[in-house]
Structure 1
Amino acid sequence: MATPVQKVVIAGGGTAGWMTAALLRKVLSDKVSIELIESEQIGIVGVGEATIPPIQTFNRFLGIDEKAFLRETHGTIKLAIKFENWRVPGESYYHTFGAPGTTMGFCSFHHYWLKAQQANMAQSLWDFDLNYLACEAGKFNKINTQNPLYDMPYAYHFDSALYGQFLRKLAEQAGVTRTEGIIEHVQQSTEDGFITALQLQDGKQITGDLFIDCTGLRGLLIRQTLGVNYADWSHWLPADSAQAVPSERHDKTLPYTRSIAHPVGWQWRIPLTHRNGNGIVYSSKYLTDEHATNTLLANLDTKAIGEPRTIRFETGRTEQQWCKNVVAIGLSSGFLEPLESTSIHLIQSGIIRLMKMFPNQGISQAMTDLYNAESQHEFETIRDFIILHYHVNERDDSDFWRDMRNMSIPTRLEQKIAAFKDTAAIFNEQSDIFRDASWVQVMMGQGLFPADYHPAADAMDSQALLDAMRQIHHAKHQPLAKLLAHDTFISQYTSL
């Protein structure tokens, strides 16, 4: 007979642990006791400083004041990622959180744009995207309107370590128990292998009914104790190393993340109010650590603060992210390089999925299987989106880029690319967090130009279409005059 869950034990703190603790307490109130074990002696990876818009929903549900959050995490606004040198060196494009244009008929805006291009319209797809226009102007403001034409979705850049501390205060005030200590031994039931307790180095035993593994890449509970296998995706995404280093802040803070491709791998630049986050992601098969360090330091915009630290990883996912009475959240559940800022989102979605399927009356195999199936699908769709950036490149300056272009790719991604090349069609699964506009921007940004558009766009003759495009273009530019310089917005908003 299943045992009702009366106590949840979270192994590990950091962003994953404290996001989990805060949401569990908010949803479950005091019906379930929650204890988090962490040690100040164990460091956290802490490179996930860029996010995607659903983080706003998470913060709002917890009742977090956005101004206080930005102040305490040294946060800034993120409207997009700018990809530089990804198709060929010297070229760039944006993947914004917005959607170009507006609703015009049966098919998506990019089909009408493709037809207008054939009628000699000069504007790029991005010229119809308010997020892009604000990025180029270095501006942001909250637009108080319900008109979807002026929708400007945004996320944040923030110091992930400070975000963890911010959530810790929130969770402890709400009744989460924090225990300082290092886990020395994991106790299991001899009958079913379920975990029964965590023994700390000081001899203390922490018992529980459900255990959340937030121990990072080592996966102490899910992999080391329960022996769950790891699906290795390095044949598609061979990067296995990263180096991270902070640097002094810019005088002018950009409202977007920069992703800069190098002959091997890529470099991130994330602007915060007190510093910049920088790092390089690369494959040790193609690049030595020393060369990676030199590349990173030689391409900083501002003076480095400290020495680069190296992080090793294996791209892939834990095959069962819920096994017995252990749920893996964060890096213990898998690793996808932070190219599209999905690390913190995967923490968020993993916790929310657990809340929807919370085993109040005991753990069932049916619920565990459903959780694992949804997790797998989500990881795979994000994986495919990341592979797309690498695979659709035209660089010829290194074996790395040539190998990425010529590799075999997952069948689902192959079908997506083929459909888009033929008729600009985008087919998305429900669990894909990247919607049509995201796929269109990356595909076109990487040089994929469709052979045709949807015939529904021909319902409008060319002259009427060009007139409509001019009106949309003009309307998209109208809010720019009311936007503030990004730094001015952050300063004024957080001081209120």
Structure 2
Amino acid sequence: MSEAAIREIVIVGGGTAGWMAAAGIARLAGALPGVSITLVESDAIGTVGVGEATIPQITLFNTLLGIDEAEFVRATRATYKLGIEFVDWTRIGHRYVHPFGLYGIDMAGVEFHHHWLRGVALGDAAPLDAYSLAVVGGLDGRFAHPRPDQPNSPLAKLAYAFQFDAGLYAGFLRTRAEGWGVVRREGRITQVHRDGGSGHVASVELADGTVIAGDLFVDCSGFRGLLIEETMGAGFEDWTDWLPCDRAWAVPCELGGDRQPLTRSTARPAGWQWRIPLQHRIGNGYVYSSAHVSDDEAAALLLAHLDGRPIADPKPLRFTAGHRRRAWVGNVVALGLAGGFLEPLESTSIHLVQSGIARLMALFPDRGFDPLLADRFNAETEREYRDIRDFLVLHYKATERDDSPFWDYCRTLPPPPGLAEKLAMFAANGRIHREHNELFTETSWLSVMIGQGVMPRRHHPIADTLPPAELLHRLGHIRSVVADTARAMPRQDDYLRQIGCDLGA
């Protein structure tokens, strides 16, 4: 092993981010000779632990770790997720779904939605949702795995994610990480010691005097940013002007209502409420702007809109939308809430941890800590946060709601430049340009823009090459195939029982 090689990796903080980092790094770097990984956490310090909904990239992370899906679903009390249902966002009484997977099928060499737009112009009133298996099946409580071996079936392009108990997921990953050699140290960090020459973090000291030295430190200490901010002074990019929600209440409740494989987001007068059905309970929360509603009013609204009896007291959270200006400083890399926060409207929090781990491993340093590696890490991290920010702002900006000061603020807010360009291009001619392989696909942008009332004035000219009768026939056939395939999918609850889940227990 090279003398310059990293030998000691210290992860500060547990929870979902810490144990994802521990498991991911141990899986990829733990096999290197002479490398040790230590995770420091204190049972006396709570974790946020409300990030229960994910996006399809979580399946890639679990596969990387060699996780058996059925075991994972049982252990974390997970349900499946085919998309996010948005209620009252466009206007009160309106709803749509942002699905995982595609709409319809491309025809004549152009994207399906251009043909759908032409069909609308010809008088076909079927909504875009009718062409998505994830939407039709999800709303009916059904789930099936993708079938790439059936290229002519809507199942071929289906995608899925999970909804799970974040605390159970952290414990599940801890078991694996410790099995791969990660050492957990219990204790509260009271001092951080820095090298006098380089300014790098040399060690952390616990309340009992134990000193834990390291070469590379991964900060998973939550909003506090113990290493990245308090020690290394990374700075913070505040996006409150674009994303004014700065607080949340979170509370679990007993099972009630439906258990569709969908996360639900319901717009409220000063923010929005999440609903995440698990096997044994429902996760709920109200994300809101403290400038537009009091904490007590927000808590009361949340408790008034539960599907079952609350099984804990509401938990308050305070945050600022944005990210560290530098997520990697010296020998410290921040992941999770230590690196930034974007509200969980599109379930991106766990993904940002996952992508940060992948980025760190791709740019893994030696003890020389070449600043070019940190610069690249920071640039890519900032770009990912910015892309997600723009997608989140779209939900607030593209709305007809004018029933509260909060929605007046959001509706009239000048959008970030990247979002303004996407909105202008789509509204003019239905085109969606995906930048630099950004996280959200053309399908995602399409679903939210159409769902929130942004209807293009024109469609792709090639969509006009199909005779009107043939086009309308094809559209009807696609809807029929989607509906028939959805009816053939098993009920999610039946599938969960088949893999050994004890529902409701």
Q: TM-score, normalised by structure 2?
A: 0.96
Deviations 1:234-264 (A, max 9, x none): 0111111000000001364111011001111
Answering whether residue 130 of structure 2 is matched by residue 127 of structure 1, we say: yes
Cα deviation, 1:158-198, whole Å, max 9, x if unaligned, reads: 00011000000000011111111111100001112100001
Is 1:211 aligned to residue 217 of structure 2?
Answer: yes
Rounded to whole Å, the distance in 2 between the matches of 1:352 and 1:69 is 21
| Separation (CA, whole Å) in 2 of partners of 1:362 and 1:155 | 39
Aligned residues: 496
Residue in 2 aligned with 1:285?
291
Q: Which runs of 5 or more structure 1 residues have no equivalent in the other structure?
A: none
> Is the CA contact 2:137–2:487 (under 8 Å) kept in the aligned structure 1?
no
* Cα gap change, 1:357 to 1:288, in 2 (>3 Å): same
State the one-letter code of the partner of 1:7: E
Quote how far apart the aligned CAs of 1:145 are. 4.7
Shift in CA distance, 251/315, structure 1 to aligned 2, threshold 3 Å: closer
Q: Which residue of 2 aligns with 1:16?
A: 17
CA distance in 1, matches of 2:471, 2:246: 48
Question: Letter of the aligned partner of 2:202 in structure 1?
Answer: T
Which residue of 1 is the match for residue 185 of structure 2?
179
- 1:124-145 deviation line (CA, Å, top 9, x unaligned): 1111100011012111123545
Query: 2:83 aligns to what?
Result: 80
Partner residue in 2 for 1:351: 357
- Alpha-carbon contact 2:244-2:289 (below 8 Å) kept: yes
Q: CA deviation at 1:362?
A: 3.3
| The 10-residue stretch of structure 1 (481-490 or 189-198) with the greater mean CA deviation from structure 2 | 481-490
Q: Is the 8 A contact 1:48 1:338 kept in 2?
A: yes
C-alpha distance in structure 2 between counterparts of 1:321 and 1:404, whole Å: 29
Mark the CA change 1:495 to 1:247 in structure 2 (over 3 Å): closer, same or farther: closer
Structure 1 counterpart of 2:95: 92
Question: Is residue 395 from structure 1 mapped to residue 396 from structure 2 by the alignment?
Answer: no
User: Residues 155-304 of structure 1 correspond to what in structure 2 (within 5 A)?
Assistant: 155-250=161-256, 252-304=258-310
Structure 1 residues 255 and 20, CA, compared in 2 at 3 Å: closer, same or farther?
Answer: same
Q: Is the 8 A contact 2:215 2:367 kept in 1?
A: no
What is the alpha-carbon distance in structure 1 between the residues aligned to residue 163 and residue 129 of structure 2? 22
Distance in 1 of aligned mates of 2:163 and 2:4 = 41
Coordinate RMSD, CA, aligned: 1.5
For residues 211 and 460 of structure 2, what CA distance do their matches in structure 1 show? Answer: 63
Structure 1 residues 458-469: aligned runs within 5 Å: 458-469=464-475
- For residues 254 and 286 of structure 1, the distance between their equivalents in structure 2, rounded to whole angstroms, comes to 32
Deviates more, 1:392-401 or 1:359-368: 359-368
* Cross-structure match for 1:432: 438
**Structure 1 position 116, deviation (Å):** 1.3
Q: CA deviation at 1:471?
A: 2.3
Shift of residue 469, structure 1, vs aligned partner = 1.6
Residue 51 of structure 1 pairs with residue 57 of structure 2 = no
Give the aligned residue type for 1:378.
E
CA displacement, residues 316-373 of structure 1 (integer Å, 9 cap, x when unaligned) = 0000001100000000000000000000000000000001111146311111101111
- What is the SS of the residue equivalent to 1:494? coil
Q: Name which of 343, 357, 374 aligns with 2:380.
A: 374
Cross-structure match for 1:341: 347
Alignment partner of 1:139: what SS?
coil
Aligned partner of 1:54: which letter?
Q
SS at match of 2:499: helix
1:152 positional shift: 1.8
Which shows bigger deviation, 457-466 or 232-241? 457-466
1:27 CA drift (Å): 0.7
- 1:216 and 1:82 map into 2 onto residues whose CA distance is 28
Structure 1 stretch displaced more, 9-18 or 454-463: 454-463
CA distance in 1, matches of 2:406, 2:287: 13
Percent identical pairs in the alignment equals 45
Which residue does 1:471 correspond to in 2? 477
The match for 2:319 is: 313
Residue 300 of structure 1 aligns to which amino acid in structure 2? L
Is residue 188–residue 194 contact of structure 1 (8 Å, CA) maintained in 2?
A: yes
Retained in 2: the 8 A contact 1:128–1:473?
yes
Is residue 6 from structure 1 mapped to residue 12 from structure 2 by the alignment?
A: no
Q: TM-score scaled to structure 1, two decimals?
A: 0.98
**Distance of 2:42 and 2:446 partners within structure 1:** 44
Q: 2:67 maps to what in 1?
A: 64
Q: Distance in 1 between matches of 2:405 and 2:71?
A: 47
Q: More displaced, 467-476 or 119-128?
A: 467-476
